[in-house]
Structure 1
């Protein structure tokens, strides 16, 4: 009887050990499955925003790359993104998710390009912007259609304030003043946000009743007012005095836009020297130079309208110049 009891106790111990081991293995595998998407999307350990340079999406790999010198080689190793922007303490990576309907992950990354927050929104990745401090982020997705060159499109633009954690899921409800009066319409669409250095004022495009407008917004007062018509995808200059934007100059379907710069003090504009149609939100690479995507490459041009365009990166998009540690 004692021998039988001993054998029974031994069998129970062995079974418990096997079950515990299987449970532990299952937990490890589950943890690996949860971590795999973050690792696959994340940057390599040696790739971060510490080194000044031009950061961009490399078309060949779909990952963020860096070019420290204008004539130097590109360094791979960043996260996998469809749209990217970085400034100050943070970066923003937009990634289209598989499946139908279309959805996008907006990944908030720190300066080491590690994910610190993820927001999933409907639509296809379109625009991404981070304020100079890195505390405000905005993204735009196409929720209907996939081009601005048609009336059959709709956008969704969000703003995330990392100082408070508050997320504006859609800007459509922001009170809009148009032609001096409060404007109400179900067709209002916002896209292409660009933030001022004070982390309060911003510029964006609004479309309503078949027209597009450049608007100036105030986050604290939660308001926006139209400044002028026919100015899309604005980008505020580092000194806050000028806005680079794309302007519709033709009804031709294949080449409707040209790049312009607007002086906010005088409201005078001038065209830039890029002769081709540019369907992109330009990015200021410094106080005198505007970068943009064109035909799958990244180009730059002088902001004063002189000179000729320059090819910066072949096979790249989403340019953002990161100058170094945040102010």
Structure 2
């Protein structure tokens, strides 16, 4: 018995020693791995764009500027940052204001934010003044996805996912709101507007509306989905109507002259996970023009000017911004790495 007991004790000691050695090795490996990852992150930041803290304003100030949500690794990730519009790859000035989605015009900004809770996140839409200070906030009922400000700065709009998390499939629902920043009057769900489809009044339980782009302080365009199809609709805040204009249009963006709409269009033969191509519609003639961008664009493109579109594509650290001529000529060009949600000012 004593021999058996002795062997048992020895075996236990060997097992204990092995466990200690293993834990030590794992611990050292974990430390080294963390240090390696930290080093990689530092290297990524060093190789990425320079980002510094400074004053960011929505007021005119000596030249045209581009504002974005900065995605470069480092302490200013997710902050709204600015660069000169003609030097988008240059050093960025970060504001300290974090947003998931952002847009600005005429001294007004809309910032969609996450509020991190103990059990789950909630979301809010924050209207900002020209100095990026909060003017008003609204609870948002889902995950932020689109945001726009009218050319005058008087109206803001945002869209959130209230179920699902992608436009690619059909299992999603959205909620789109419009707010008048002069009165804080809220249209909290554009699905309650009267729909005129193909010239007739239309009602359906499956209507979704998203991706507002403003013409002025009354009229706007957006996407309406119903019956498995999407439509460009012209909206009117005074009459509370949505009128279909064109089929197979998602996330429209109105040109500065109000004559064209850039949008993502589902194309036959594309992957179900990447179904879109970037097009431009002439509102007067109904003619569609495919841009030279052949990759799938899941974004609400922005008109940088009257002839150039800016949009986000997946990048190494989230998204990168690209540009392409709206006329269907030329070729896509990288504009700005590690950035999303652009807005031009000035």
Sort the Cα spacing of 1:167 and 1:74 in 2 relative to 1 into closer, same or farther, 3 A. Answer: farther
TM alignment of 1:68-217, pairs within 5 A? 68-71=84-87, 73-78=90-95, 79-99=97-117, 103-196=122-215, 198-217=216-235
- Of 55, 58, 63 in structure 2, the residue corresponding to residue 46 of structure 1 is 55
Q: How many residues align?
A: 280
Judge conservation of contact 2:58–2:106 (CA < 8 Å) in 1: no
Normalized against structure 2, the TM-score is what? 0.78
Provide the secondary structure at the position in 1 that maps to 2:94: coil
The answer for the alignment partner of 2:321 in structure 1 is 298
- Of 249, 269, 273 in structure 2, the residue corresponding to residue 231 of structure 1 is 249
Please tell me whether residue 57 in structure 1 is matched to residue 76 in structure 2: no
CA–CA separation in structure 2 for the residues paired with 1:310 and 1:225: 35
CA–CA separation in structure 2 for the residues paired with 1:48 and 1:54: 11
The answer for the alignment partner of 2:297 in structure 1 is 278
CA–CA separation in structure 1 for the residues paired with 2:197 and 2:243: 6
CA–CA separation in structure 2 for the residues paired with 1:320 and 1:46: 17
The answer for the alignment partner of 2:38 in structure 1 is none
CA–CA separation in structure 1 for the residues paired with 2:121 and 2:300: 22
Post-superposition offset of 1:182? 1.0
Normalized against structure 1, the TM-score is what? 0.82
Judge conservation of contact 1:65–1:74 (CA < 8 Å) in 2: no
CA–CA separation in structure 2 for the residues paired with 1:58 and 1:174: 35
CA RMSD in angstroms, aligned pairs only = 1.6
Q: Which runs of 5+ in 1 are unaligned?
A: 1-42
Q: Which runs of 5+ in 2 are unaligned?
A: 1-51
The answer for the alignment partner of 2:281 in structure 1 is 262
